[in-house]
A = this chain, B = another copy of it.
Amino acid sequence: MFTSQHLKETAQVDSASVQPLPNSRKVYLEGSRPDIRVPFRSISQAVTATDSGEEYNPDILVYDTSGPYTDPKASIDIRKGLQPLRAQWIEERQDTELLENLTSEFGRRRSQDPTLEALRFDLKRQPRRAKAGKNVTQLHYARQGIITPEMEFIALRENQKRYELGSEAVEELLNQQHSGQSFGAAIPEEITAEFVREEVAKGRAIIPCNINHPETEPMIIGRNFLVKINGNIGNSALGSSIEEEVAKMTWGIRWGSDTIMDLSTGKDIHETREWIIRNSPVPVGTVPIYQALEKVNGIAENLTWEIFRDTLIEQAEQGVDYFTIHSGVLLRYVPLTAKRLTGIVSRGGSIMAKWCLAHHKESFLYTHFEDICEICTQYDIALSLGDGLRPGSVADANDEAQFSELETLGELTKVAWKHDVQVMIEGPGHVPMHLIKENMDKQLECCDEAPFYTLGPLTTDIAPGYDHITSGIGAAMIGWYGCAMLCYVTPKEHLGLPNKDDVKTGIITYKIAAHAADLAKGHPAAQRRDNALSKARFEFRWEDQFNLGLDPDTARSFHDETLPKESAKVAHFCSMCGPKFCSMKISQEVRDLDEKQVAAINAQAHEGMIEKSKEFLATGSEIYHKA
């Protein structure tokens, strides 16, 4: 594409991604050292007018994945990338060294290719790797009892403490919290850095943070933390430019994507990834076999360990934070898929199945699994063990092929842990509602509570064009049951490549699923935002209702379709009932009842009703038992 020829000079940030959200400002919470600055979005609210004067509604702090893009004080230039906020922490640990050259042969070739000059990201920084014999994973530190700055950052970030408080009466409303049903998850009232360390040490949570991606704001994936979501981006042979992919990333994190996976399979995969990572404040995951396959011109059986290994290192030194690797596709599992309605639908899974069949042996992803772990220890890359045999239809859910692979992934989890490599497990796919919990429980059991990371699952196959919804249902449920991260599905699933609108719809749908799961688990910090929004709604603070929601822009535009005037946004009614009668207005009157009035109601009404009820019950029950 012509535009990418001059990318190095012309690339600009997507302007839609750099505005703060309405009535929101970026605030930072400082940790034990000044360079631990944890970002939040602080949403300010209007006061409530009451008979006894104005009631103050406190700012609501929400978890913020959007990075510096929504901070007007930050200077954003995607040609320069983000500030390396973790650089100092990594440096201080003194267990890494800077490399003169890229280790990967492919990476070196690309970096020296003059034809790529114009579209290459202009990175001045040298790649970094563990010193010989050192292991630089957060799991390694955690097991030694070390609390890293990353862990402290996460503890502050996950707490979402109520730094802004309203009056006692307001706090009583905002602090309501259902106790939840946790299915064995145990989220403490206050997340401490030590708790973060423990969860990582036990393998129950991971912190994806490659030492070559110092731009990341640390985040954690584990079922005793907020449920996270991932958004997929990436070009394909059929289109999309580097600038568009960066824009999809900044757009995705604006709406709440906790991690981004770059699934590019088109041209300039290496350069595209560099641009994304340098500009991403969230961890970036990849499926390295996709790029490896491009290197062998799409012929799966020509893949080798050497090519794959070079790809891992190439990506490791760019800063990829987690790798999806389909090591669980064993030769003997492949024929189990023949009986399926939809065979193998995972791209990675089918690549490896093809390889195994062609060579009639186990894949290098399995036989070299310990070598892969070794690489991960040198850069702190988390493994996301791919479910190459996930079901592609509800008919195939929870079948022998799927669960056999899951058992192997459980074995590999233990191997990764042996190397102090952080690991999570990928899950399906298509699963009807009643089989979701079985799948979740099986994962916890097979993989000794390593975090689960699922695609949906889609709860029915019959709605192409709406698979964000078919899967949002399953995602909310599996999040409740204990899944740690939900990979989004867009409306284009099964049909085409998502555009920016689809990315947003997918992200918002998955934020809903993740938040519904947090509520159901009884996450101590989750319900405050619902309560604040509902209070605003009940009090006809329209702007606050919009701004506290996941997507203020859409809420406002929907409202304005019916009532476009500004005055309607301070009106004490809405378009459903109109100005003459309003249900919310009437229930305000109920609140205004004084104690005496309530006592009178209870005395009189109760008296009358007991008689009436008895009478009804007597006649009604009689008939009922006859039926």
Contact between A551 and B516, CB atoms less than 8 A apart? no
Tell me which of B460, B554, B613 contacts A512 (CB under 8 A): B460
Contact between B578 and A466, CB atoms less than 8 A apart? no
Chain B residues closer than 8 Å to A605, beta-carbon distance: 330-332, 361-362
Chain B residues closer than 8 Å to A546, beta-carbon distance: 464
Interface check A469, CB cutoff 8 A: yes
Contact between B517 and A590, CB atoms less than 8 A apart? no
Q: In whole angstroms, what is the CA distance A535 to B394 when docked?
A: 11
Q: In whole angstroms, what is the CA distance A176 to B398 when docked?
A: 14
Chain B residues closer than 8 Å to A415, beta-carbon distance: 616, 619-620
Chain B residues closer than 8 Å to A468, beta-carbon distance: 469
- Summarize A's interface: helix, strand, loop or mixed: helix
Contact between B578 and A236, CB atoms less than 8 A apart? yes
Interface check A572, CB cutoff 8 A: no
- Number of A residues contacting the other chain (C-beta, 8 Å)? 158
Contact between B466 and A550, CB atoms less than 8 A apart? yes
Interface check A586, CB cutoff 8 A: yes
What are 11 pairs between A and B in contact, CB < 8 Å?
A: A300-B586, A335-B598, A338-B590, A342-B537, A344-B583, A414-B620, A430-B534, A433-B480, A473-B473, A494-B545, A497-B576
Interface check A193, CB cutoff 8 A: no
Whole-angstrom distance between the Cβ of A137 and the nearest chain B Cβ:
13
A391 and chain B: residue at smallest CB distance = B534
Chain B residues closer than 8 Å to A362, beta-carbon distance: 605, 608-609, 612
Tell me which of B293, B393, B434, B549 contacts A463 (CB under 8 A): B549
Contact between A516 and B338, CB atoms less than 8 A apart? no
Chain B residues closer than 8 Å to A395, beta-carbon distance: 173, 176, 178, 527, 530-531, 534
A513 and chain B: residue at smallest CB distance = B473
Q: A238-B563, A477-B433 are in contact. Are A534 and B392 (CB under 8 A)?
A: yes
Interface check A624, CB cutoff 8 A: yes
- Give the residue among A239, A513, A550, A627 with the most B Cβ atoms within 10 A: A627
Whole-angstrom distance between the Cβ of A599 and the nearest chain B Cβ:
9
